[in-house]
Amino acid sequence: MDNEQLKSNLTSSKHWLRLVFMLLFAAVLQLASLVMWVLVIIQFLFSLITGEDNQHLRRFGYSLSTYIYDVLKFLCYSSEEKPFPFADWPANNVNVAENAEVASTPAQTILPTDNPVEKAAE
């Protein structure tokens, strides 16, 4: 890298503007992490008292964790897209409740009926 390119990089407003956004989103990430911990505690207490989790909290937790992931991608330069409020809030996954139930059911064993290796050996 030559001195001209270094000078150009240091004086580029693009890099300094991104730094401002990164500092802003780093602060937002701290706040979002705090909200996530409060959500975790409330969800645990709800589950402890009622015997099951709250679906509304689960959906919000899903969208909040997706938002945290989006912020981390921006901070790590994995994405150039700025998260909320510069983009839409991550959509709630309607299938979150269904996915939790599907994950808790035992897997079905699927037996192959037409195995080409066995047919070739015959």
Chain centroid to Cα 122, Å, comes to: 50
Instruction: Name the token pair of 13.
Output: 């407003």
**How far is 43 from 26, CA to CA, in rounded Å?**
25
Domain span including residue 79? 34-98
Q: How many residues does the chain have?
A: 122
Tell me, yes or no, whether 109 lies in a domain: no
- Give domain status of residue 77, yes or no: yes
- Predicted local confidence at residue 100, as pLDDT: 52
Whole-angstrom Cα distance, residue 100 to residue 57? 14
Q: What is the mean pLDDT of residues 35-62?
A: 95
Percentage, residues of the chain above pLDDT 90: 57
Q: Does the residue 41 lie in any domain?
A: yes
* pLDDT tens-place string over residues 65-121: 999 999 999 999 999 999 998 898 998 765 654 555 544 455 554 545 555 445 455
As given in the structure block, the two tokens for residue 80 are 């150039």
Location of structure tokens 């705090």: 34
Establish if 11 belongs to a structural domain.
no
Number of domains in the chain: 1
Q: Which of 74, 73, 76, 63 is nearest to 32 (CA)?
A: 63
- On whether residue 3 sits in a domain, the answer given is no
In a domain, 54, yes or no: yes
Residue 8 falls within a domain, yes or no? no
Query: What pLDDT is recorded for position 82?
Result: 93
Q: What is the CA radius of gyration of the chain?
A: 24
Q: Is residue 71 part of a domain?
A: yes
